[in-house]
Amino acid sequence: MSPETIVHIHIILLLVAIGTVGGFLSGLLGVGGGIVFVPALYFCLTSFAVDAEHAMRVAVGTSLSLVLITGASSAFWHHKKGSIEFSIIKSWWPSIVGGVAVGTYFASSVDGHALKQIFTVVTLFIAFYMALSKELPTEPQAHRVSKKMQRLVAALIASLSALIGIGGAMLNVPFMAYIGVPMRKAVGTGGALGFVISLPAMVGYILSGLPHMKELPPYSLGYINMLAVAVIIPISMLLSPVGVHVSHSMPRNILRRIFAVVLGIVSLRMFIVS
């Protein structure tokens, strides 16, 4: 077996492991896979000598492609159950597209090290949020937020999501619950908004990565690695229902705190490793 073949086998096995863990945790905690996929893909790429300058952008772009497919699947099943609030999508989508454009442009303008540090800071805040926050109430408790402010918040969430490679549900769902959307519809709409965020973001990462194709890992289309997408998607979609099943038999508050600790450790390691 040639050394090149051995390397390819190692890469595929790593991607299978990433899809397994990411899909399981996505179903277990309902956090979306992006927050897991980005650091895992970054460490995978750098371990195979991909330049750190491009590794972070490839990790983020590839994560957004994964979120696009899983978000579309989630939106389909939530729509079948009537749990998507289309009036919110109709109201927010122009602001979301604008926010994504800003986030994608910023990600392509800063160097890879700065992008990694931004991801680290944001994920540390998310880790603290998951560790300290309580489960959101199932009954809506509406707070007055103007349509203009809702769109502004949606744009900020979209910009941040495009910048660090997540679908935004972790931020969109609590915000929708805050403005009075019932939790079932907030979760369903959050999945659909993940699709709305990741589609233009994915296009942006493809276009911004095309001038650097010679410096990117094999099977890349811009800053999206198609091999990673092809391997991770079926594995993660297979494992996600398993995570959902397990989540119903374990205390979610404890799971959230364990995940917050793991996320904090991963974030700190990304911060320390150059």
Q: What is the pLDDT of residues 15-56, one digit of tens each?
A: 898 888 877 777 666 566 777 888 889 888 888 878 877 899
Q: What is the mean pLDDT of residues 257-273?
A: 75
Higher pLDDT, 212 or 133: 212
- Please give the Cα distance from 104 to 99 (Å, whole number): 9
* Average of per-residue pLDDT across 253-271: 75
pLDDT for the residue 208: 92
Better-scored residue on pLDDT, 164 or 187: 164
Structure tokens that stand for 104 in this block: 């994608």
Q: What would the mean pLDDT of 241-259 be, rounded to a whole number?
A: 71
Q: Please, where are the H alpha helices in the chain?
A: 3-29, 34-47, 52-80, 86-109, 112-132, 147-164, 169-178, 183-209, 226-247, 252-272
- pLDDT value at position 29? 63
pLDDT of residue 131: 77
Q: Locate the domains of the chain by residue range.
A: 3-272
When the pLDDT of each residue in the chain is averaged and rounded to a whole number, the result is: 83
Distance CA 156, CA 207 (A): 22
Which residues on adjacent β-strands are paired with residue 221? 224
Task: Render 23-44 in DSSP notation, one character per residue.
Answer: HHHHHHH-S-SHHHHHHHHHHH
Rounded to two decimals, what is the model's pTM? 0.85
Q: 184-213, pLDDT tens digit by residue?
A: 788 788 878 888 999 999 999 999 999 999
C-alpha to C-alpha distance for 244 and 246, rounded to whole angstroms: 6
CA proximity to 86, closest of 157, 188, 183: 188
